[in-house]
Amino acid sequence: MEATEGGRQDPPVLRITLPGWLAALRSPVLLGAALLIAASLVLRVLVLRDSYFVEDDLLFVGNAYENDLTLDFVTRVHKGHFMPGAIALTWVLSRIAAYDWLLVAGVTFVAQALLSVLALRLLRTLFGTRPAILPPLALFLFSPLTIPAFGWWAAAINAVPLQLALVLALTAQVRFARGEGARYGRQALAWCVAGMAFSTKGVFVTFLLFALTTACLTGRETGWVRSMPGEVRRHWRLWSAHVAVLAAYTAAYLARMGTAPGEGATVPKPGVALDLISLLLGRTFPSGAVGGPLAWLPTPAGGLAGPSDAVVAVSWAVLGVMLVISVVYRRRALRAWIVLGGYLILADAIPTVVARGSYTPLVGLESRYVADAAVVFAVCLALALLPVSGESDAYRRPRPARPWLTLAAVLTAGAYLVLSVISIGAYRETLSGDRVRAYLDTAAAQLAAAPDSTVIYPTPLPADIVLPVNGDRRLSSHLLAPLARPVLRARMAHPEPTEDARVFNRDGRLVRMSVAPGFFALRGKDERCMRTLMGAMSFPDAISFGGQSTVGGLAYSAGKAASVTVEVGEERIVLSLRETPMGLIHFPVRGVSRGIRIVMDDPTAPICVTGVALGAPAAEGESPA
């Protein structure tokens, strides 16, 4: 402080130094980007709020509680997906807390927030910090194509890490192509490996890096085709490493395909494949790329894209106009569009056809199969319209005046944001999280209140929660056991004969078990007991399918405790009978056979059998799911 001429001192000055990241927000571009990121994350919070575990989510939790975290477990193929990183992540989160949506949604949200910031960094690395990067950033952040895969946990563990790997690998590759150091090339390779760990589509990141490097980052003046061999010669060690990684991943995938028999790669049916591609690339992607589809078709796992013909026509018109404008004004713009088209065909369409082309073409309406293309579209569109940092002679002709460009960009981005918000809102209306949440909450409460002695037989979860195509993987002993304490979990896996068998009904409540229609035999109209021959009863027409979904039942009366042996093929089941109020005992049947035989271990024991049943376990009053 200094004294003034009048003897007074100047007041002290308070200086506050802002953190670097906060001080950066004084830039209008970065402030605008931060607002876009924040708004997009708010929308995604709403999606997560309306979502819940469904379908494959439950399978992952069940698998986590039946397996240790071993190399064999994480390298199993799940429905055609080889994704050790994703399986390991689901195991860890499931073991921390089974069916904890807040935990799962929190991890997904944090990963998405990181992805949003890194997407901004990629655009700044490519084009510098200028207002022109905000439209492509908004294009990615609000893309409806990414929403279904984001809200469904089983899809998010593939889609979000893959998009992270894409963004990080591209950022590192840009810096490597600019000569900033060989370490960035190695980093790009490492991020390719990370992408493969979470999604089989990660193998295509290498091809994308090579295509964009040769098309837009190096050798721009020598021609795209000519730049390819030059790039390989200059950096042959790096690209050889990429090829080696791809070969190793492919070998590992082929070696582990047997862990998912009957799932994954198949020979597509030509008609189904063509219709699938037509829907995926002809309707789903173009409508989602411009903010659609506006309408969705509800399914248990969310919504399928359902754009109207008018929306599809307008979408193609918009994309066509952008392509023409970019090619007319921007040198090398066509290269970016070719890269986008190649990625859609090679990384999205062909793998989807190989994996799902023998089922139904409606798979082409699932936007999760092109969620990763949202990143590629945003980058390629930006490359088609904007020169990268340091690029000279970028335009063929003078551009329109800046005010007109600004107005066009604002109007286009504004229209896109409005359509995207409408589409995301429409998708939220298809979510059925409340149904699954209520079911699992009820089941958890029932298991918590059940005594340790409760015998719970496996029954399939309702079809609107887990589809029947999942077979025994949808049984309660697999999917609801993680909610039980260890002693009950063990009893659910190996139920024993009991007079008071319980199963879960359609609402998740534990109720008495009955035997669903299968084989029934009752005593004759004028008979007190079913007849025996030499102390045994035989039923040659009874068929046992075995497995966890077959049970038997005896209705009887007993003057004193005794035992009978049930013979099903090679299986022998000893039942201890005693007088009970119900006069009924249920027992698991694992053997596969035609015909069953019931032997009285003591032919003189006062046992009176009045009925025999063999079939599937079901809740009383309900048909099997």
CA 376/CA 123 separation, integer angstroms = 12
CA 233/CA 223 separation, integer angstroms = 16
Q: Report how far apart, in Å, the C-alpha atoms of 171 and of each of 30, 168, 311 are.
A: 18, 5, 34
Q: Band of the pLDDT at 481, cuts 50, 70, 90?
A: very high
CA 308/CA 161 separation, integer angstroms = 31
Kindly report, residue by residue over 582-604, the tens digit of the pLDDT.
788 999 998 888 888 888 888 88
Return the axis-axis angle of helices 203-212 and 333-343, rounded to nearest 10°. Answer: 170
> pLDDT value at position 381?
96
> pLDDT value at position 18?
53
Selected residue with higher pLDDT from 412 and 167: 167
For residue 334, give the nearest of 389, 384, 374 by alpha carbon. 384
Three-state secondary structure readout of 436-501 = HHHHHHHHHHHHHHCCCCCCECCCECCCCCCCHHHHHHHEHHHHCHHHCCHHHHHHHHCCCCECCC
Selected residue with higher pLDDT from 203 and 608: 203
Residues 6 or more apart whose Cβ sits within 8 Å of residue 225 = none
| Least confident among 22-26, 49-53, 581-585, 593-597 | 22-26
* Identity at 217, one-letter amino acid code: L
Q: Are residues 171 and 375 in contact, defined by beta-carbon separation less than 8 angstroms?
A: no
* End-to-end Cα separation, the chain, in angstroms: 84
Residues 6 or more apart whose Cβ sits within 8 Å of residue 617 = 457, 458, 459, 501, 503, 513, 514, 515, 516, 549, 551, 586, 624
pLDDT(47) > 60: yes
Q: What is Dmax (Cα atoms) for the chain?
A: 127
For residue 574, the cross-strand partners are: 565
Q: Are residues 304 and 363 in contact, defined by beta-carbon separation less than 8 angstroms?
A: no
Report which DSSP code applies to 387.
P
For residue 556, the cross-strand partners are: 609
Q: Band of the pLDDT at 262, cuts 50, 70, 90?
A: low
Kindly report, residue by residue over 433-450, the tens digit of the pLDDT.
888 999 999 999 999 999
Q: Measured on CA atoms in the order 385, 390, 395, 398, is the torsion positive or negative?
A: positive
CA 177/CA 274 separation, integer angstroms = 38
> pLDDT value at position 26?
73
pLDDT(20) > 70: no
- The mean pLDDT of 257-261, rounded to a whole number, is 78
| Least confident among 129-143, 179-193, 330-344, 402-416 | 402-416
Residues 6 or more apart whose Cβ sits within 8 Å of residue 281 = 344, 345, 348, 349
CA 161/CA 238 separation, integer angstroms = 23
Two structure tokens written together for 60: 């992952």
Hey, what long-range contacts does 186-190 have (CB within 8 A, 24 or more apart)?
186/238, 189/238, 189/241, 189/242, 189/245
- The mean pLDDT of 171-177, rounded to a whole number, is 96
Q: Band of the pLDDT at 300, cuts 50, 70, 90?
A: confident
pLDDT(140) > 80: yes
Q: Report how far apart, in Å, the C-alpha atoms of 361 and of each of 154, 355, 366, 467, 492 are.
A: 21, 12, 10, 18, 38
Tell me which residue has tokens 């009970």.
580
Selected residue with higher pLDDT from 169 and 578: 169
> pLDDT value at position 269?
86
Cβ neighbours around 469 below 10 Å, total: 12
- The mean pLDDT of 395-410, rounded to a whole number, is 82
CA 379/CA 246 separation, integer angstroms = 24
Burial 259-277 (b: 16+ CB within 10 A, else e): ebeeebbeebbeebbebbb
pLDDT(1) > 50: no
| Least confident among 123-132, 165-174, 331-340, 614-623 | 614-623
Dihedral in degrees, nearest 10, Cα atoms 49, 55, 59, 62? 60
CA 68 to chain CA centroid, nearest Å: 21
Selected residue with higher pLDDT from 220 and 86: 86
Mean pLDDT, the chain, whole residue set: 89
Kindly report, residue by residue over 266-275, the tens digit of the pLDDT.
778 888 899 9
Q: Band of the pLDDT at 543, cuts 50, 70, 90?
A: confident
Per 3-state DSSP, what percentage of the chain is helix, strand, and coil (rounded to 5)?
A: 55, 15, 30
> pLDDT value at position 558?
84
Tell me which residue has tokens 């061999």.
229
Residue 119 phi, psi dihedral angles, 5° rounding: -65, -40
pLDDT(264) > 80: no
CA 163/CA 141 separation, integer angstroms = 12
pTM: 0.89
* Identity at 122, one-letter amino acid code: L
* Identity at 167, one-letter amino acid code: V
> pLDDT value at position 221?
74
Q: Of all residues in the chain, what percent carry a pLDDT higher than 90? A: 60
Kindly report, residue by residue over 380-389, the tens digit of the pLDDT.
999 999 998 8
Residues 6 or more apart whose Cβ sits within 8 Å of residue 514 = 617, 618, 619, 620, 621
* Identity at 497, one-letter amino acid code: P
Q: Are residues 154 and 145 in contact, defined by beta-carbon separation less than 8 angstroms?
A: no
* Identity at 576, one-letter amino acid code: S
Q: What angle do CA 126, 28, 116 make, to 5 degrees?
A: 50
Q: Band of the pLDDT at 475, cuts 50, 70, 90?
A: very high
